[in-house]
Structure 1
Amino acid sequence: MGESQQTDYGKIEITEEALATIAGAAAVRCYGIVGMVPRGLRQGVSEILGKDDLNKGVEVRQEGSNVKIDLWVVMCYGVKMAEVARNVMETVRYEVEKMTGLHAIEVNVNVVGVRIIK
């Protein structure tokens, strides 16, 4: 179930799937990120998700107006992983808060693999 707000004009509901799509789209726009992979992928980085499936690489947990987000990403070879992860955290937090008004209190980046880009 998503966060819901009542206004004079009606009800606004933001689902966890919508939040996951926002977070995934923000993450893949960051420098150093090759793509997202499905959460729980254990067989290696065989499947990088396309633009329509970005929410499958994100897990969202809502607690009232607070949101916790976990991302599963593949990074480019040769980048500073800590810096890229920090940039992803800040970008995702900013985009979620700007677009929804909810507070992203936690953004976790799980680096599942590294890929060489030619």
Structure 2
Amino acid sequence: MTETAPRNRPDTPGRDLSGSGEEPRKPSTTKRGSGDPASRGRTTIADGVVEKIAGLAARDVIGVHAMGSGASRTFGAVRDRVPGSSRSSASRGVKAEVGEVQTALDLDIVVDYGVSIADVARDVRENVVAAVERMTGLEVVEVNIAVGDVKLPDEEDDEPEPRIQ
């Protein structure tokens, strides 16, 4: 059996075991686990989180009457009244695809009659991108907007009236 000379290991500071005659290393002054705490571990953000942020940001824009298609708004209004329903109305009309560092969004909106659809779409994009990037740190690569309807002033909402209990 042949014996080999021990090598210099990083966890044994101050001893030169290589036999090279070099000066011994000085002990490290950093402690185990030190460094930027933000770089320890990984953060994942669910699609639903980004969808809620985007939905709330889009609703804040003047000229956006509602989110989602007519059928999804009606179904969503009914579903919101069912105890234990999982999907929030805040994310209605929003679909997000979330990666590790980027996200893409699809929004279905209803605009008020008389507003410039191009201006509303631009404002929605700006507001959604700012909110999602600020809150999640993800880069928003695209925000696709589908205008599915225009709310006329004399038109009733598709959503059923809330019942008094």
Q: What band does the TM-score fall into relative to the shorter chain?
A: 0.7 to 0.9
Corresponding residue for 2:11?
A: none
- Where in structure 1 do 4 or more consecutive aligned residues deviate above 6 Å? none
8 Å CA contact retained: 2:46, 2:98: no
Q: Deviations over 1:31-64 (max 9, x none)?
A: 1000101xxx4xxx25365693131311111233
How far does residue 11 in structure 1 lie from its aligned partner after superposition? Answer: 4.4
TM-score by length of 2: 0.58
| AA in 2 matched with 1:92 | V
TM-score by length of 1: 0.79
Corresponding residue for 1:20?
A: 51
Distance in 2 (alpha carbons) for counterparts of 1:56 and 1:30: 16
Distance in 2 (alpha carbons) for counterparts of 1:117 and 1:107: 28
Q: 1:110 aligns with which of 130, 146, 157?
A: 146
| AA in 1 matched with 2:130 | Y
Q: Deviations over 1:62-97 (max 9, x none)?
A: 233111100000000000000100100011001000
Query: What RMSD, in angstroms, separates the aligned Cα atoms of the two structures?
Result: 2.1
8 Å CA contact retained: 2:45, 2:98: no
Distance in 2 (alpha carbons) for counterparts of 1:94 and 1:117: 30
Structure whose alpha-carbon radius of gyration is higher: 2
Is it true that 1:93 corresponds to 2:129 in the alignment? Answer: yes
Identify unmatched segments of 5+ residues in structure 1.
1-5
Q: How many aligned residue pairs are there?
A: 106
Identify unmatched segments of 5+ residues in structure 2.
1-37, 81-87, 155-165
How far does residue 7 in structure 1 lie from its aligned partner after superposition? Answer: 4.4
Corresponding residue for 1:31?
A: 62
Is it true that 1:74 corresponds to 2:74 in the alignment? Answer: no
% identical equivalent positions: 33
5 Å matches for 1:44-63?
Answer: 45=70, 47=73, 52-63=88-99
Q: Which has the higher contact order (CA 8 A, sep 6+)?
A: 1
